[in-house]
Structure 1
Amino acid sequence: MSGLNPHCAGIDVSKGTLDIAISGTASQFAVPNDIDSFNQILKELKRNGTRLILMEATGGLESGVACYLQSEGFDVVVINPRQARDFARAMGYLAKTDRIDARVLLQMAEVINLHPEREKYIRPMPDTHRQLLAAMVVRRRQLTIMLTAERNRLHPSNPLSHRSIRSIIKALKDEIARIEGEMANHIAKNFSDISALLSAVKGVGAATVAVLLAEVPELGSLSRREISALIGVAPVNRDSGTMRGRRTIFGGRASVRTALYMSALVGTRHNPVIKEFYERLVAAGKPKKVALTACIRKLLTILNAMLKKNEAWDSSFHRHAS
C-alpha cells in the first residue's frame, strides 16, 4: 500500500457491503452497507488520521455512507465510475474485485489529495430536502420510461392485449400525476424562491426545475465554464500535434442534459434570447444539432448566473450574454 499520503481512504460500495482501504495500513476490511456499520468505519478512519475519502457513484447506494461521513467532518469525493475505471487501467490493474477497487480508489484519492486544485473535487452532499426531491425525480423518470414502453407495445401487439396495455398506461399516467403533485408541493415548501427564479425563464418548465434542484445542487455556485463541464455541455478539444479534431461534448450528467434539451428546444421557438442565439448560429452555417447544443449551454449558464446573483430573468440583460 502506498505511504505517500497517510490521510486518504477508498471505499468500494455495493448493495450489501462496503470495502475500505486506508492509507498507511497493510490490511483492508469490509462491513455491511448499513447505518449500524458506519460507526465502525468512523473509528478506523479517525484512528488512522484520515481526511479525504473517495468512492464511486453507484446509483444512490453510496449516499448513506457519504452523507454520514461528511456530517462527521470528512472531505468526501464521489466520482463517476468511468473515471475510476480509466484510472485503474492507467495504473495497470487488469483484474477487478471489490478489494482491488477499494485499493484503486485509495490510490486515486491520494492523487486528488495532492492536486493543486483539490477543493474543486469536494462537493457538498445534497441535504435531506434535495435527497427526497431526487428520489421523486428518479421515480418519475422510471415511470416515464415504462409509460413510453407500454405505448410502443400498443400498436404492434395483438388486439387482445390492447385492454391490458391501456390499463397499464392509465395506471402509469395516474402515478406520474401523483408523483408530480408531490414534487410540486415539496418544491413549493422548500425551494419556492429558487423555483420562482428558474420558472420565469421561458422554456424552463416544472419538470426541468425539479431536475435542476434535485440533481444540480452546484447550480449558482460555479463559474459558467465549471457548470458547463459538470453537466457535459462544454466542448472538448481533440487535438494532437498539427491535427485539429472536431470538438465534442463528453461526460457530465446525462439526465440533466436531457431536461435542458427539451427546455432549449422550446426556447428556440418561444424564448427571444435563445431563439435569437439559435437563429444566428444556424445562419452562420452551424449544423442545427450543434446550434441546439450551444443553446443548452447558453441556457444553463444563464440559469447559473441568475442563481449566483439572485437575479430575476431579464431578456435585455441576457440577450448579449456569452
Structure 2
Amino acid sequence: MYISITKQHLDTTFSQSSSDFVDYLEKENEGKGLDQQEQFFDQNHDRIPPEQVVKEIDGNTAKLKKQEPKFYSITINPSQRELNHINNDPKLLKEYVREVMKDYAASFHRDNPVSVDSIKYYAKLEYERTFKGFDRQVKENQVYRAQIVKLENEIRKVERGEVAGNAKTMQNDIAMLNAQIPHRIDGKVVVQGMKKPGPQTHVHIIVSRKDVSNRFSLSPGSKYMASESKLNGKMVKRGFRRDQFYDNAEKRFDTMFKYKRNFVESYQARKTYIHDPKIYFAHLLGLPTNERSAAFKLMGTAGVHIPKLNIPTNKVEAALQAIKQFKKVIDVAKSSSSIGI
C-alpha cells in the first residue's frame, strides 16, 4: 500500500479552481456511456457528478489567500497483491476509502477532535495505469531503442550518400537489438504510455483545505506534526500526524480484509529503510525462513534482483555483511520506481 498526499499546484500554469484536476480524473470516462462511467463518491453518497465536485471544492475556500492551496490530493495505491486479496472488488475498495478518511480526520491534532463529518472530500476509482518514462521497464528498453534510432539515422545518411557504410549490416544490428529488448507485453515492446498489465485499481481523493463549515483550515501539509502554539494568548493544538495516518491506513486494510502483510510491504519498513538501512536489512535477513522467502519473492516481483547469500540469519553481524550488496540493488529499484520502499 502506498499513500501520498499532494497539495494543489498553484504556479502560473495551474488554475486556482479544482476544475483542471477534476477534468484530469475524468479521463477514463472518455468515450464511455453513462452506465459504464466511474463516478465520484464521498462518505455517504455515490454517483456525484464532476460539476458538483468542482462547485463544492471551489466554494469552500473562505479567507484562503491566492498562494495557499485550496485542496489536497490523496492517492491510495494498493499493490497488486493487495488487490488480488480483495479480488479487485471496487465495492470493498470504496468501503476501505471511507474508513481511511476516518483515519485521515482523526490524524489532525486539534483541541476538538476532527471527525470525518467535518471533512469535505470526493473520491474516484481508476482502473488503469500507464508506463511512465521513469519506470524501470521503459528505462531499460530505452537503452536499446536509442541505439536502434541512431542506426536508423545512419542508414538514412548512407542511403542519401552523405556517409559511407553498409546499410545491410546496420539492418542486421537493428534486428539483433530488437530481439534483445528485455521488456514486452503480449509481444509488444514496453514504451511510455502503454497500459500496465494486471489489476491497477487505485483511488484519487480531492479534499478541501477548509472543513465543511468553511470556517476552519485543515491542512495535512502543515509543517507542524503535532504541537501547540499560542493564539490570542491561548495555547492551541495544531498539525497533522502523517505517520499516524499512513500507519493506521495500512492497519485498517489488514484488519478489514484479514490481510497478512509481509515486512517489506509495511510503512514502518519503508520508513526504517530511509532512516537506517542497516536496521532494515538486519530485520529482513532475520525474518523467519518462510517470511523471508516471501519477502524476497515480493522484491523479485518488483524487479529487484536478490543476490544469493549463504548467511547465518541468527547472527546479526554476519547478516550485516550483506547490507551493502542489498542496498545497492534496492537503491537501483527505488530510483526507477519499481518498488515502494
Shared fold, TM over 0.5: no
Question: Which structure would you say has the larger Rg?
Answer: 2
Q: How high is the TM-score relative to the length of structure 2?
A: 0.28
> Which structure: greater helix fraction?
1
The structure whose RCO (Cα within 8 Å, separation 6+) is larger is 2
